Structures are given as structure tokens and as C-alpha cells.
Amino acid sequence: MFYHIKELQYQAKPTRPDPSFARQLQEILGGQFGEMTVMMQYLLQGWNCRAEQKYRDLLLDLGTEEISHVEIVATLIARLLDGAPASEVESAAEDPFVNAVLGGMSPRQLIASGLGALPEDSEGVPWNGRYTIASGNLLADFRANLAAESQSRLQTARLYELTDDPAVRDSLAFLIARDTMHQNTWMAAIAEIEAKEGVVAPGTFPIDRERREFSYKFFNLSRGEESSKGRWAYGPTMDGCSVFQYVQCPQPYGEPAYLKPAPPQVLDTPPGQLPKMNKC
């Protein structure tokens, strides 16, 4: 059960209208790494969680908080559009594509939502459920969550630099701070699971089923040897099970990928032949 409290988790009161920035904010609402994505990702992972109750609660705690963040960003967008200069709104109504887009205002925020937020990114691409990851493997999922929070914090920080409205910056600073906390949360959860299962996901897959001779080789497939200077090329592996091996000139281990001719009913061109012309 979810219960809505009318007060926002944090203030969302811009000091002045800014339709152009309202459009830019759509990216952290309905973009690939926006608040809608992490909200649905954490909630789905939580609802599907079959592991310890603490992990389910962790996911649902953060997923529920992300609902609050969706509300903050949506409110910011609506208030940035509210009270926009009449000339800008009127020109958008006359010719939404030409006037509104050239003026930086999203025509859909006027036409489709009546000066409100939309479930889409800054380019008007609709939010997609395929942005979300909920595999059931907590180590894999928590790493995806960490990556999502990293991208979210990056994009929100960039938006912070694109506005000089102190109230909007204050709201974004709050979201950035929560991204900091969530990154730390996922890193803590990842470390806990790694201590139990190891650092390679899934930790429950028997390693003796791998072709172990390839498990720790780094193949240099670029000109030069610059990649040999990284930590991934030498020393103990991160799982503590071996050492990295740098292969300067990797050789192919397979045969040429020649295929057999297709059956006649498929009507392919036989290998090495040209089809004969059909005669009337």
C-alpha cells in the first residue's frame, strides 16, 4: 500500500518562469536515467525480490523515495511553465512547432499536457519500460542501480550548471545529494553481497563450467600497447582467483565461419554461384 502525503519531500518553487529549462528538465524526469526509470526499476526489483527481507525493504524504500523525486521534478516543470510570458504561450498556440520549438519551449507541454510535465525526455521521446532492469540477481541489479544513480547525478549536475535560478538550483542540489546517498547505498549493498558470493555475477554459477583458460586473459585488439598500462592487464584479478594475463597478439581459437547452403525452399543464392535468370 502506498500513501500520498501532500507536502513535497523537498521544495520545488522556481523564482521565475523558464519554459526552455522546463523542457530540459524533462531529461531527468522521463529520460533513460531519469527519476521515472529508477522509480520503476527499484520498485520492480523490490516486488520481485525473493532474497532476504532486508533487500526487499531496501529496494522498496528507495523506490518509494523515487516516487517523491518524480513528483519534485514534475512540479518544477509545471511551475517553470506556469506564468510563462503570454507572448510565448500565445505564439506557441498559433504555431506550436515553429514558434515554441524555436523559443525553446516544448510544444507538447502546451498542447498535450496543458503546461505540465510529460512522461518523456527532453527531445520528446516517450519513456520506455525497457530502460528498467530487474533480473532477480541482486548483484547484477544493484550494479545497474549504481550505474543509473551515477548517470542521474551527472545529468542533474549538468542541469544545475545550465540555470541561474537559485530556487531551482536548490531543488537540484537536493536531488544531487540524494543521488550521492543512493550511490553510497548501492555500493554498500554490493560490497555485502560480494562478500557472500564473490565479485563476479552471478556468484552462484559454478566456475568449473567456464573455459577457465580464458577467464583472466586481456586481449589487446587495438594498435599499440596503451591498454597494457591499466590495472586490468597485470597483477591479481579482482576476484582473487588468478592473475591478469595481457595477450599482445591474440590468435583466433575458432575456424572460419563458413555456412552450409540453405535449403532450396529458402531461395538463397548458393555459395559461389549466381542465380540463373527465370525464363518465361
Residue 123 known to bind ligand: no
Residue 35 known to bind ligand: yes
Residue 57 known to bind ligand: yes
Phi and psi dihedrals of 278, rounded to 5? -70, 135
Give the span between the Cα atoms of 158 and 21, in whole angstroms: 12
Residue 66 known to bind ligand: yes
Residue 61 known to bind ligand: yes
CA-CA distances (angstroms) from residue 95 to 100, 102, 103, 121, 243?
Answer: 7, 11, 11, 22, 64
Residue 182 known to bind ligand: yes
> What are 242's three cell numbers?
588468478
Residue 46 known to bind ligand: no
- DSSP secondary structure letter of residue 246: E
CA-CA distances (angstroms) from residue 59 to 55, 81, 104?
Answer: 6, 33, 37
The helix/strand/coil state of 124 is coil
Q: How far is CA 73 from the centre of its chain?
A: 17
Residue 171 known to bind ligand: no
Q: Are the C-beta atoms of residues 11 and 171 closer than 8 Å to each other?
A: yes
Residue 34 known to bind ligand: no
Q: SS3 letters for 174-191?
A: HHHHHHHHHHHHHHHHHH
Residue 220 known to bind ligand: yes
Residue numbering of the annotated binding site? 35, 57, 61, 66, 69, 149, 182, 220, 222, 224
Residue numbering of the annotated binding site for Ca(2+)? 57, 61, 220, 222, 224
Residue numbering of the annotated binding site for Mn(2+)? 35, 66, 69, 149, 182
